[in-house]
């Protein structure tokens, strides 16, 4: 019973300490701007419908992103974040097939492998709910979630493929020290092209004005 009571007290203290990082005060500025840039780690899922005789594998590729964001501050600890981001996303796909054909009643096996790179250049418009938890006057943690719409320039070995539009979900977190920012976010595309959906991990540094 003592252990349960101590755990309950510890939980209450943790919630209270966490609540103290939330600031309901009026923001200093209604709209603030920042710049972001960093590295992308992108991949795509395995399409549905592949059989035992046809294999499909992907390798994560590296790209970059850069853009501006605007925070519409409701209170000091909560904002709606939007902006424009250029995002370059790469991944390598390997397709292998194993088929059998009969020539003059003699079975012949064929093994074919084809590797290609998908490069997609996005212009993204995110709309995110942004929460700030203040550790001090100059340091706060950011947690964000929402969605995005994107205009896309897809290329596959220099050949345009797929739709010019994408949409999806974003979750992320970061830390802001004075005006400098470091964070990461996960982007999951919802638009399917022949069963494929892209995903991306973006690691960013930035500066807030």
Q: pLDDT tens digit string along 56-102?
A: 667 778 889 999 999 999 999 999 999 999 998 877 777 666 666 66
Q: What is the DSSP letter of 68?
A: E
Q: How far apart are the C-alpha atoms of 17 and 38, rounded to whole Å? A: 33
Residue by residue, DSSP assigns 147-194 as EEEEEEEEEETTB--S-SEEEEEEEEEEEEETTEEEEEEEEEE---BT
pLDDT above 50 for 8: no
In this predicted structure, the answer to whether residue 49 has a pLDDT above a threshold of 60 is no
pLDDT reported for residue 12: 39
**Global pTM value:** 0.76
* 131, two tokens: 């929460």
Distance (Å) of CA 41 to CA 35, 65, 89, 177: 20, 10, 7, 25
Decide if 45 contacts 199 (C-beta within 8 A): yes
Residue 162: per-residue pLDDT: 57
Whether the predicted pLDDT of 133 surpasses 80: yes
- pLDDT (0 to 100) of residue 189: 86
Residue partners of 78: CB distance under 8 A and separation at least 6: 129, 130, 131, 132
Residues, the chain, total?
209
The span from the CA of 83 to the CA of 124, in Å, is: 8
Given a cut of 60, whether residue 140 has pLDDT beyond it is: yes
The pLDDT of residue 55 is 59
Separation of alpha carbons 131 and 17, rounded Å? 16
What's the CA gap between 209 and 207, in Å, rounded? 7
> Which residues make beta-bridge pairs with 166?
150
What 8-state DSSP symbol labels residue 27? P
Cβ-based neighbour number of residue 21 at 10 Å: 15
Report whether pLDDT(15) > 60: no
Name the more confident of 1 and 73.
73
């Amino acid at each position: 019973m003592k252990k349960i009571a101590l755990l309950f007290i510890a939980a209450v203290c943790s919630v209270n300490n966490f609540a103290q990082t939330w600031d309901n005060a009026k923001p200093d500025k209604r709209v603030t701007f920042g710049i972001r840039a960093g590295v992308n780690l992108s991949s795509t899922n395995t399409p549905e419908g592949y059989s035992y005789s046809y294999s499909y594998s992907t390798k994560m590729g590296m790209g970059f992103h850069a853009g501006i964001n605007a925070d519409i501050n409701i209170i000091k600890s909560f904002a709606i974040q939007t902006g424009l981001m250029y995002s370059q996303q790469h991944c390598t796909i390997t397709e292998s097939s194993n088929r059998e054909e009969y020539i003059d009643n003699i079975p012949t096996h064929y093994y074919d492998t084809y590797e290609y790179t998908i490069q997609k250049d996005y212009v993204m418009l995110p709309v995110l709910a942004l929460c700030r938890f203040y550790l001090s006057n100059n340091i706060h943690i950011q947690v964000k979630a929402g969605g995005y719409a994107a205009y896309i320039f897809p290329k596959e070995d220099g050949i345009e493929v797929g739709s010019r539009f994408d949409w999806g979900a974003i979750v992320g977190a970061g830390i802001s020290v004075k005006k400098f920012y470091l964070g990461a976010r996960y982007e999951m595309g919802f638009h399917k092209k022949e069963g494929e959906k892209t995903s991306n991990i973006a690691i960013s540094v930035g500066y807030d004005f």
